[in-house]
Amino acid sequence: MRRALLAVVASALILSAASGALVTSSATENDLVTTVPSRQIPKIPKSVYRIKTKDKVAFITIDDGVYKPENALAYVTANRLPITAFLSSWTIKDSKEYFNEFARWGSIQNHSATHASFGKKSTDLDHEICYVQKRFGKKYDWYPWMLRPPYGAAQDSRAVRRMGEKCGIEQIVMWDASVGYGKISYANSKLRPGSIVLMHFSPKLKRDLKIAVKKIRDAGLTPANLADYLPRESIVPEMLTVPVALRPPAR
């Protein structure tokens, strides 16, 4: 198991080096080896708040999916913006085309089934995480490999990481800046290379997107595709290959 873990960490570092990125959580995963029995260590590293990279890039991530404003989609399409859409599965009924278009230069990822907090004992993590994997797999013909816990809760818990690992999650993604209600706020005073910006599918999404893009450009950065900067192994778990054959998305 320890050997398997080290192989994962090693391959993550190789992948990171190949893409010019280094994920902050790799080092802490190594630290865990000395403090807990190896059988308890989830393969998924702790959550990522910002990609460590020298590339002048930042990443736009948008959560939930209740509102689907057409003008925001038109703005994304006109500017070819790479968007990582973290969707809660109940919000996307009959909206396959909208979100596929929205994430054309990015990807669609997992933000739970019902938006229940992963920090509550009553939350059914199997349903919240793995049901979405199966549902999105059928709906979008690919399966998510990033997870954003609702409210950012219990993002590093072993229960969440183990459940994610069971059904194809490879990275848990947080953020270090957010844009909403016409304003930007920072975890660390400004945008840096590798910053991950949190937003929501709100009625005013277009306004907020324009603010995010302006702030990113003002910081000397360019919006980039988060999927290109996070290491992954692209192994489809067996539970997702039955009964429909699913393919991981092309990079």
Using CB under 5 A as the binding rule, whether residue 64 contacts Zn ion is answered as: yes
SS3 content of the chain, % helix, strand, coil (to 5): 40, 20, 45
With H, G, I as helix, E, B as strand and everything else as coil, classify residue 187.
coil
The distance of closest approach from Cβ of residue 149 to Zn ion in the complex, given in angstroms and rounded to an integer, is: 9
**137 or 150: whose CB is closer to Zn ion?**
150
The distance of closest approach from Cβ of residue 131 to Zn ion in the complex, given in angstroms and rounded to an integer, is: 16
Give me Rg for the CA atoms of the chain.
17
- Residue 29's φ and ψ, nearest 5 degrees, are -60, -40
Piece of the chain touching Zn ion by CB under 5 A; list 10-18, 55-63, 121-129, 210-218: 55-63
Interacting residues of 140 by C-beta distance below 8 A, sequence separation 6+: 96, 99, 100, 108
Piece of the chain touching Zn ion by CB under 5 A; list 7-15, 64-72, 168-176, 220-228: 64-72
Using CB under 5 A as the binding rule, whether residue 63 contacts Zn ion is answered as: yes
Using CB under 5 A as the binding rule, whether residue 176 contacts Zn ion is answered as: no
The distance of closest approach from Cβ of residue 173 to Zn ion in the complex, given in angstroms and rounded to an integer, is: 12
Cα separation, 119 vs 154, in Å, equals 5
- State the residue number with the nearest CB to Zn ion: 63
Residues that bind Zn ion (CB under 5 A): 63-64, 150
